[in-house]
Amino acid sequence: MASPTATLDSSATCAVDPVVPDAPIADALGSDALASDALRSMALRLAAALPARAVQGLRDDELLNVTGAVEHLGRYVDALRVEAAAEISARSLVVCRAEGLAARKGCRNAAELIERVTRVSGATAARRIKLGQFTRTDLAEPGVARAPRFPSIADALEAGLIGVDAASAIVVGIQPTLRRGGVEEVRAAEEELVAAAIGTSDLVPTACTADEIRQQAMVWQAYLDPDGMEPVERRAWNARGFEAGTLSGGLVRGRFALMPEIAAKLNRLFDAYLSPRVTTEFRTAEEQAEVDAEADPRSRDQQRHDVVAAMVDHYSRSDEPPTIGGAAPTVLVTVRDADLEAGHGRGHIDGAKSDVSMTTIRHLACSGGYQLVSIDAYGSIHGLGSPQRCFTPAQRRAIIARDGGCVIPGCTIPAAWCEIHHVDPVENNGPTHTDNGVLLCWSHHRTIETSGWQIRMIGGAPHVKPPPWISHGAPWRPATKSPTMLADAIEKRMLRC
């Protein structure tokens, strides 16, 4: 079998022979095709010809060339993996009360046996078995071969023309239509999808990726079985849910199963509030550069979490949720009076049955407002504080009109979803007044003490200063996203011109 070869020269570049095998590995190995010693020897020769770290010295085109060649070689190996998994599965069946292969080896099923032999995940073993069941040639009776259910996929897989990902995508897409679609139509769909994956179809300009094949397979599924989604949707409706989850490692981990239309709406909200801001006419080039310079350290998943946090916080503050015991739904957070006075320690969130840091306690006190109940060391109520740490609805409306949204530049969270931050902290007896409150989204509010952003009030209006890692030595600038305030700023600028 021809294999990719590499020769490293003094300049750390590599000359690559792009030749890949044209025949299945079984042909290259000879009569003892499946002998483990022969396969191990082949792997060792390949590793010697092209050590894994050798790719670091390749030029760009050579790197891509080797990547494609190695993947082509891997497809032959994958075909053997699938065939071996299917054979193990077939031999593990209980026939005539005789124990199958898996049971004789002390495993519950074929998948577990494959896991232990190969050390792959259970999901990988199951996927190989499923694909192999659709692509292997069975013996209906001694000496009589039975063609695989998907012969085109089987041939392409064995020839190394498609990989496991593409083959699985085709099977998953058209297998549900076997009972409803006509045999000829299903076979045509299989052949067309295989051709698209290889790149010989007239419908595609080049070979399709596995993800593209998966999308095309769904289109074929809808064509072959127009009414097939109805039972799927009925099962989905019964399986929908949102599991609250349990506390683990400081996070409440749960699971959700959303109907597609709900997931689509949620994704649209994510797209709307996580998309980059567009340059506005009133900003100078320096101001826009400062906004663009902000590198959001959050991952996309973390950003989505923070959008959900803002939505939940907004809804909990509205008048729409039903009351509990005649009062609005309230999360109870308890903290020892001594810890609160000392500024360190921990509190407890009753709703999540979770301990939280004093930083979180200060965040909750600043944003949501709470009525402090001090309990002394003897367990008696020591004092009942004023509930006016919370901004009133009228104050909130005024601050929304003034700020128009989170005051941190570049943040797209709308004003209605924002919390109100005490610029002069409540623990320093900062007043709960519009001149001391600014809008911050949940994420920026939670990290305001560590992110480096600075906020101060000048004449009752918020001004912000970016952290040094964004713009060293940047001046304080007014911060507002209110259309009225922005229009006023534009008018003042034009008058100066």
Reported as a single tens digit per residue, the pLDDT across 310-368 is 887 777 766 666 665 555 556 666 777 777 677 777 777 666 566 777 777 766 666 55
* Stretch 26-42: mean pLDDT: 58
* Stretch 441-468: mean pLDDT: 88
Q: How many CB atoms lie within 10 A of CB 120?
A: 17
Please say if the pLDDT value at position 169 is more than 90.
yes
Encoded tokens for 238:
């019964």
More confident residue, 289 or 219: 219
More confident residue, 364 or 23: 364
Strand boundaries in 106-183, DSSP class E: 138-141, 144-146
Lowest mean pLDDT among 236-240, 304-308, 342-346: 342-346
Q: What percent of the chain has pLDDT over 70?
A: 72
Query: pLDDT confidence of 97, banded at 50, 70, 90?
Result: low
Position 259 scores a pLDDT of 81
Beta bridge partners of 335: 347
Angle made by CA atoms 455, 461, 464, in degrees to the nearest 5: 25
Position 378 scores a pLDDT of 59
Position 365 scores a pLDDT of 63
Phi-psi region of 405 (alpha: psi -120 to 50; beta: other; left: phi over 0): left
Reported as a single tens digit per residue, the pLDDT across 409-424 is 878 788 888 888 999 8
Distance CA 212, CA 133 (A): 24
Encoded tokens for 10:
């003094």
Position 277 scores a pLDDT of 47
* Stretch 206-221: mean pLDDT: 90
Q: At 17, is the secondary structure helix, strand, or coil?
A: coil
Position 132 scores a pLDDT of 94
Please say if the pLDDT value at position 275 is more than 80.
no
Question: Helix count (H) and strand count (E) of the chain?
Answer: 19, 16
Question: Residue 137 in contact with residue 145, Cβ under 8 Å?
Answer: yes
CA distances (Å), origin 273, targets 263, 266, 276, 298, 305: 16, 11, 8, 14, 12
Query: pLDDT confidence of 497, banded at 50, 70, 90?
Result: low
Position 7 scores a pLDDT of 32
Please say if the pLDDT value at position 404 is more than 60.
yes
Please say if the pLDDT value at position 101 is more than 70.
yes
Position 309 scores a pLDDT of 82
* Stretch 439-460: mean pLDDT: 88
Please say if the pLDDT value at position 383 is more than 50.
no
Domain ranges of the chain: 1-148, 157-227, 393-496
pTM over 0.85: no
Q: What percent of the chain has pLDDT over 90?
A: 22
Position 280 scores a pLDDT of 39
Distance CA 393, CA 411 (A): 23
**Contact residues for 297 (Cβ-Cβ < 8 A; gap 6+):** none
Most confident among 26-35, 55-64, 375-384, 487-496 (mean pLDDT): 55-64
